[in-house]
Amino acid sequence: MFEHLEIAIDSAIDSGAKYSDARVLISKSRSIAAKNGEIENFNENEKIGIGIRALVGSSWGFYSTYDLSSESLKQAGKKSFEIAKASAMVAGEELPFADVPVVEDTYTTPHEENPFSVSSSEQIDLLISSTEKMKKLGSSRAFGRLDFWDTEKWFASSQGHKIYQNIIESGGGISSLSVGDGETQIRSYPQSFGEYRTGGWEVIKSFEFENHLDRLAEESQRLLVAPQCPQGTMDLILEGSQLALQIHESVGHAIELDRILGWEAAYAGTSHLDLKKLNKHKYGSELMNIVADATLPGALATFKYDDEGTPAQRVDIVKEGIWTGVLSGRDSAAVAGVPPGGMVRADGFGRLPMVRMTNVGLLPGDSSLDEIIEATDEGIYMETNRSWSIDDLRLNFQFGCEVGWLVKNGKIIDMVKNPTYTGITPEFWGNMDMLSGEEEWVFWGTPNCGKGQPSQIGHTGHPASPARFKNTRIGVRG
Ligand SMILES: [Zn+2]
């Protein structure tokens, strides 16, 4: 494939581009969805194509095609140059472009069993039996889904990069929905919308769906008759997957350098962060240590090189509550004066790579969920996301969870339904006063992060363990 890349890149450079890179992708996907013991959807897809970028001045041109004939590749290189040249007509100072090591390398996601080598009937059977059992246990509607991706990427640049990567991702989940008098309640496992990791079929086996069917069916029905979540300001304890989404929305998007620089205002907004406050701004309490780490084995956004050929790395984002880092690519890092973070990825070959969260996670503390509950006089423990909203600046948010548990005098005393909480990013994180340790630290993954115009879907990771937030507004409705 590298010879295909070379034809396109040479054509862009010969046309006059000062830099060019290109990716050929072979992307396989399999997606299976079941309801009440029957398969609702089975979809398999395989795509091949090339995406090429050309840099003229400080402007990118991008072009992609399914056609890998040499005539088409030459055309693609030329087109990418022409698009860059047209954008470069808009006057502006020439921006720097950070250097990264030029490497030739290969990488394959460590995995035990490629999910595409496992028979689809075994995968289908798992969903049929899981959803059938929950239905028998009283679910009004029982859902299950599995998704697999096997992506081969060849990357080359006019600077000499030659990188082959094979990224394998697996995930899915199950839910029990109960319908009552004018309301529905749902319980999901491992998290709402499923849980996703890099790795093979063993990822799904590790979830052990069979051990959670009774609980999901029972809890979704019990929620129908549970009291409403109380309203007030009290302690909030968050289970890991909800905390993962909290990190994604109130930290992950806010630290994207293209948003901070105002390049990416179109979709879901900008950021409340200002680069002048880097290394000074108080993001949260001293327990708050956030890293963006694309090297964590098994996490969803783990790879060896990003889509600009920059090595995967670990970057401190928040250290003991102080904002210290951003998510960047070669162009944005050079503008901001930070080292390029290797956080640029594209959704397939047909999209321009952009700044993307890697595994943006909260490092574990030294407590445990049991200890947190024991130490809480009055509060709500919330599990599994159900709804979210956050403003464009990533400051004011409201989240709803599937289930709440009322904690009084160090004990869970009741289930409550429709739990919600609201907050303002720095205040909320400033109130985090207890954090669970490594044993409860899970590499939560989100396969559906939308960003950009045209919209791209990103796969991001958010390691987290349960934590407590003091004085949080709980039970706000509407
Ligand atoms: Zn997102």
The predicted-structure confidence for 285-322, as pLDDT tens digits, reads as follows 999 999 999 999 999 999 999 999 999 999 999 999 99
Task: Tell me the two tokens of residue 178.
Answer: 């109960």
Q: How far is the CA of 143 from the centre of ligand 1 (A)?
A: 24
pLDDT of 267 over the 80 cut = no
For ligand 1, the distance from its centroid to the CA atom of residue 125, given in whole angstroms, is 32
Ligand 1 is a single-atom ion; what residues have CB below 5 A from it? 449
Length of the chain (residues):
478
Distance 350 CA to ligand 1 centre (A): 20
At residue 262, does pLDDT exceed 90?
no
Query: Residue 89 has what pLDDT?
Result: 81
CA of 354 to the centre of ligand 1 (A): 13
- pTM of the entire structure? 0.96
Residue 131: HSE in the Cβ half-sphere, 13 Å Cα cutoff:
26
At the fourth CATH level, the homologous superfamily of domain 2-225 is PmbA/TldD superfamily (3.30.2290.10)
* 51, 64 Cβ separation under 8 angstroms: yes
Round to whole Å and give the CA distance between 48 and 67.
Answer: 9
Give me ligand 1 centre to Cα 446, in Å: 8
Place of tokens 């998704």: 147
* Amino acid letter, 379: G
Distance 82 CA to ligand 1 centre (A): 32
| CA 91–ligand 1 middle distance (angstroms) | 32
In angstroms, what CA-CA distances link 35 with 41, 141, 204, 220, 403?
Answer: 9, 7, 18, 16, 22
Question: How many CB atoms are closer than 10 A to CB 39?
Answer: 15
Rounded Cα–Cα distance for residues 19 and 152 (Å):
24
What b/e sequence results for 51-88 when a residue is b if at least 16 CB atoms lie within 10 Å of its CB, and e otherwise?
A: bbbbbbbbbbbbbbbeebeeebbbbbbbbbbbbbbeeb
Mean pLDDT of the chain: 96
**Sorting pLDDT into bands at 50, 70 and 90, what band is 476?**
confident
The Å distance, Cα 357 to ligand 1 centre, comes to 8
Tokens 């929305």 label which residue?
249
Output the pLDDT for position 263: 82
372: nearest Cα among 243, 468, 473, 465: 468
Question: For residues 128 and 382, what is the distance between their CA atoms, to the nearest angstrom?
Answer: 29
The pLDDT > 90 percentage for the chain reads: 92
Q: How far is the CA of 451 from the centre of ligand 1 (A)?
A: 7
pLDDT of residue 478: 61
Ligand 1 midpoint to CA 105 (Å): 30
Whether 305 and 312 have beta carbons less than 8 Å apart is answered as yes
Give the residue ranges of DSSP H helices in 261-303: none
What pLDDT was estimated at residue 95? 81
Cα-to-centroid distance, 216 and ligand 1 (Å): 27
Query: How far away, in angstroms, is 129 Cα from ligand 1 center?
Result: 32
Measured between alpha carbons, how far is 278 from 286 in angstroms, rounded to an integer?
16
Residue 421: C-alpha distances to residues 175, 246, 288, 438, 466 (Å)? 23, 11, 19, 26, 16
Per-residue pLDDT band for 477 (boundaries 50, 70, 90) equals confident
Cα(448) to centroid(ligand 1), Å:
7
The alpha carbon of 253 and the centre of ligand 1 are apart by a number of angstroms equal to 6
Distance 347 CA to ligand 1 centre (A): 13
Q: How many of the other CB atoms lie within 10 Å of CB of 438?
A: 10
Give the residue extent of every domain in the chain.
Answer: 2-225, 232-474
Kindly tell me if the per-residue pLDDT of 268 is higher than 60.
no
d(CA 358, ligand 1 centre) in Å: 11
Q: Could you identify the residue written with the tokens 């990003």?
A: 306
84-130: pLDDT as tens digits? 999 888 767 778 889 999 999 999 999 999 999 999 999 999 999 99
Q: How many helices (H) and strands (E) does the chain have?
A: 10, 23
User: What is the arithmetic mean of pLDDT over 310-337?
Assistant: 96
CB 456 within 8 Å of CB 347? yes
Q: Residue 215, Cβ neighbours under 10 Å: how many?
A: 13
Query: Where do runs of H (alpha helix) occur along 196-352?
Result: 201-207, 213-225, 240-247, 257-260, 330-336
How remote is the CA of residue 93 from the centroid of ligand 1, in Å?
A: 31
Distance 150 CA to ligand 1 centre (A): 22
